[in-house]
Amino acid sequence: MLSSIAALHRRARFRRWFGVHLAVAVAVFVAGVLLGVGIVEAIPLATLAEWAAGAESPLPDRITFWTIFTNNVRAMALMFLGSITLGVLSLFGLFLNGVILGFVGNAALARTSPLVFAALVVPHGIIELPALFVAGALGLRVAHRIARWLLAYDDRPLTSVEAYELVVLLTVLTVAIAVAAYIEATYTLAIADRVGDVPR
């Protein structure tokens, strides 16, 4: 068995997963961010300030590793399992996450400084966002391969080497979002508190 895995690893070409599908995933997410920002920009500043003053903090009473990790796993699963819907759910999930980040981020900047906002997002976001993009790219590429198989261009949805690559990449993604969740639960608020006043 180990020799079979070693043979698959020697034939693996992981870069095939990071081409046009990754570019599409990033583009759809960015489009969502721009829409989210645009929604906030379309709201009068006085109204936005009134909403922000009366709104509850988006931060939960207690941020734990498991709540963040399970939340991120669900998001990544939506990105990847979107392949079952030929990429529709993957695209929807990427766009929706972008809209949420754009809306919440722009609205949050009405309540705090850009430095504090960056401190709340960057420490874990530098790991979490690339993982989100890669999960979306995996879902889109698998959907593409399934579509080619259904249209009889290929004799199978995935080769054994591609299946091996997929398992490895999903494992790496799981570890990455676990690390991001640990950073967010353990360090993010502490870092932001050192930078300035965090809205509660």
142 to each of 4, 22, 71, 131, 138, how far by Cα in Å?
23, 12, 23, 16, 6
Q: Is the pLDDT of residue 48 over 70?
A: no
Q: Is the pLDDT of residue 45 over 80?
A: no
| Cα 36–chain centre separation | 16
- Burial label for 133, CB within 10 Å (0-12, 13-18, 19+), is buried
Handedness of CA 8, 9, 10, 13 (dihedral sign): positive
Count other Cβ atoms within 10 Å, centred on residue 167.
12
Q: How sure is the predictor about 138, in pLDDT bands with cuts at 50, 70 and 90?
A: very high
**Range with the poorest average pLDDT among 17-31, 48-62, 86-100:** 48-62
**Range with the poorest average pLDDT among 28-42, 47-61, 125-139:** 47-61
**In the chain, beta strands by DSSP E:** none
Check residue 99 and give its pLDDT: 94
pTM for this predicted structure: 0.86
Taking Cα atoms as reference points, which of 182, 167, 130 lies closest to residue 22?
130
Q: Which two tokens stand for residue 140?
A: 């889109």
Q: Residue 149: CB partners within 8 Å, gap ≥ 6?
A: 155, 156, 157
**Range with the poorest average pLDDT among 53-57, 127-131, 137-141, 166-170:** 53-57
Q: How sure is the predictor about 52, in pLDDT bands with cuts at 50, 70 and 90?
A: low
